[in-house]
Amino acid sequence: MPKRLLIIYTGGTIGMKQTISGLAPAGDLAAEITQLIEMGPAFQKNPPLLHTLSYEPLIDSSDVKPSIWVQIARDIEQQYDDYDGFVVLHGTDTLAYTSSALSCFVRRQGKPVVLTGAQLPFGFPRSDARSNLISAIEVAANMPASMAQVCVVFGSRIMRADRVTKVSASAYDAFDSPRSPLLGNIGIDIHFQPERRLIDDHPTPLPARNLPPDGAVVLLKLYPGITTRLLRSVCMDPEIKAVVLEAYGSGNGPSRDLEFLNEVRATVERGIVVLVVSQPLDGVVSFGRYAAGTGFAGAGAISGGDLTTEAAVTKLYYLLACGLDTAEIATQLGFQAGA
């Protein structure tokens, strides 16, 4: 029996058209998808039954906000029983944020949810749009049940949704998963890695009761010269409920700047979550590795472990939506404040 798949087209380069102002979201990909299935040899043996849902208006991924993550998740969950898998077409700029968010907000598990996009639109010479779409459909239709999860398919890689990051603006392998092994590879054939089963970061799925404001989570990157005044001014915004600090190396920060560390401590004491992640693509936070990391630990910041920046931002937003406090958020993330 053929698999039933829903393709959710949110926008992005994959379906853009050239305008006088440059590439912009335009048109519905339903015709291209239909033609692809009718003519594409990849599906001649057992073609899946495809349905499409196109957003109106289409969204450039640079305009995506947390409310859009929730909308996509709700569209998937509302039609979860009607399909065997889902493909989400999305712009590349913020795809890693949306994929990580969906790994949280799509609470039902057991069916593949595959995100993909393109570096060049359909119709452009040497566009990767067709190959990425075909690969995403094949993965959604054939991913082993034991691996079924939210994932990203792009170029030659199948990646875990909440460990993916964009690494290139020009290469066809635009995304990578440097902190987590690939779920599979795409060449002449698709090779899954069955041992890469779903890693359930949330043993008990949580209900998102009250969505916080889109700006509830703020991202700050440490750099030589960052000031206490900057951190304080950002965190005085009453909408801010959590801060992701992109630190150096294994979670290191300005250990001699006691004023800055005291401001981190004051921020935590006001009930704002401070989560520390690593700036290097393959970095993992371990506060105890260097003396420079103990300052954040002593100030009550939470270690983000191997979380990417994108995963940190989206998971915090999700956990805030679940109404959790700082200690509960640390528990759900699997880390401890000051660890």
Do residues 115 and 11 make contact, with C-beta atoms less than 8 angstroms apart?
no
**Which of 303, 239, 298, 304 is CA-nearest to residue 269?**
298
**Which of 139, 134, 77 is CA-nearest to residue 102?**
77
The DSSP code for 15 is G
Three-state DSSP class for residue 146: helix
Alpha helices in the chain (DSSP H): 30-39, 66-78, 95-105, 129-142, 228-235, 258-269, 291-298, 309-321, 326-333
**How close are the terminal C-alpha atoms of the chain, in Å?**
50
Length of the chain: 339
DSSP bridge partners of 312: none
- Sheet containing 242-247, strands listed edge to edge, beginning at the edge strand earlier in sequence: 217-221, 242-247, 273-278, 302-303
Catalytic residue check, 13? yes
Task: Identify the active-site residue in 13, 92, 94, 98.
Answer: 13
Rg (CA), the chain: 21
Do residues 87 and 118 make contact, with C-beta atoms less than 8 angstroms apart?
no
How big is the CA angle at 280 (ends 279 and 284), to the nearest 5 degrees? 85
Q: Which residue type does 89 have?
A: L
Do residues 228 and 218 make contact, with C-beta atoms less than 8 angstroms apart?
no
Do residues 230 and 243 make contact, with C-beta atoms less than 8 angstroms apart?
no
* Catalytic residue numbers, as ranges: 13
